[in-house]
Structure 1
């Protein structure tokens, strides 16, 4: 017998079941039946919460973006706030940026399965008219926001200013990170990631001058 839960809790349960199924076998394995079986509920319960697979995958993507975005935001905020308060200038900015990429990598490495799912769900949403491109848009909006906050805080803490528009800096940084992470998911070369992230921090730092 299916235990009755409030609608929001039931949706959360089904979203987590969908993410588990996807983590084990990919987005293609996410079906209403598979999610119902994993959550130990009837097909009707899933259909009551989600009209179809596209609606479920969209909700899964939104939950995943919010989860990872919050983790990244917390890590970057801590990196920007840490360090000596009397240390300013280019060297201070480089140190903050290196702490930032180290914190970001820590989140990525500890959530490898979730990272892979973000790529899968984004690709699925772009291909599926029912799911729509909104998941990918949301993903980058969240990451853009967290990255911009970090870069602004880093410049303020080090008394530096950026010489390029924030949107350009953020887009370039995230494009590099996307490529590095996708490559790591394939080859698991952690040392290469660390070197590439360090290089990214140095390249970003070079785009600032004392304020």
Structure 2
């Protein structure tokens, strides 16, 4: 098996273990047992457990972003694109809440365990970069520009979605959550204007 395939299988095994049992219980031994591999395979594929956790974040983030990236078609109305992308993301969230819960557990685990602090930092760098790239894509395809810096808007969108996801994991109130997404789209679009010819 190619090293890249082995690494991908171990990452998927790690995601399954974390979604089922929690981040703290996703030991290297639990992950290789889930994947049907040896500890040597883990150490061959990852520099450390912290490295593996960073790659889990990248894997999950890319999965979520890929689901919404294609909704920003050229010349499409910006409001439709933003709303559809937020609701598509939300649909994926509700379909896989265990995967999304990983990110919250991972943040707290990384901040509380010496040697893992950089995992939390990288996690949010990945999230912010992903939201920033979607905002840039939306602007390009709709022929608009943002009146606030994209890194600030990305942080705003991430903060709302992060909080909304956490509240939903507790109360499972889909109707109120989707109403918040509509409000987020409306507020975000107050900071968009057509490009000058």
| TM-score normalised by L of structure 1 | 0.77
Q: Distance in 2 between matches of 1:62 and 1:209?
A: 32
Aligned partners of 2:85, 2:51: CA distance in 1, in Å?
35
C-alpha separation in 2, matches of 1:166 and 1:72: 18
1:210–1:39 distance in 2 versus 1, CA, 3 Å: closer
Q: What CA distance in whole angstroms lies between the structure 2 residues aligned with 1:206 and 1:170?
A: 15
Structure 2: runs of 5+ lacking an equivalent: none
Q: Provide the rounded CA distance (Å) in 1 between the counterparts of 2:28 and 2:98.
A: 21
Q: Does 1:121 align with 2:109?
A: no
What is the root-mean-square deviation in Å for CA atoms of aligned residues?
A: 2.5
1:1-211 equivalent positions in 2, closer than 5 A: 5-74=1-70, 76-78=71-73, 82=76, 93-131=78-116, 132=118, 133-154=121-142, 156=143, 161-209=145-193
- Determine if contact 2:128/2:151 at 8 Å carries over to the other structure: no
Distance in 2 of aligned mates of 1:177 and 1:196: 9
Which segment drifts farther, 51-60 or 17-26? 51-60
Rate the CA distance shift 1:81–1:48 in 2: closer, same or farther, 3 A: same
Report how many residues are paired.
192
Asked whether the equivalents of residues 125 and 134 of structure 1 are also in contact (C-alpha less than 8 Å), the reply is no
The structure number with the bigger radius of gyration is 1
What is the rounded CA distance, in whole Å, between the counterparts of 1:119 and 1:49 in structure 2? 25
For 1:140 and 1:206, the matched residues in 2 are separated by 20
> Residue by residue, what CA displacement relative to the aligned partner does 1:158-183 show, whole Å, maximum 9, x if unpaired?
xx554333333332222212111111
Task: Give the conservation status (yes or no) of the 8 Å contact 2:61–2:130.
Answer: yes
Match of 1:88 in 2: none
Q: TM-score, normalised by structure 2?
A: 0.82
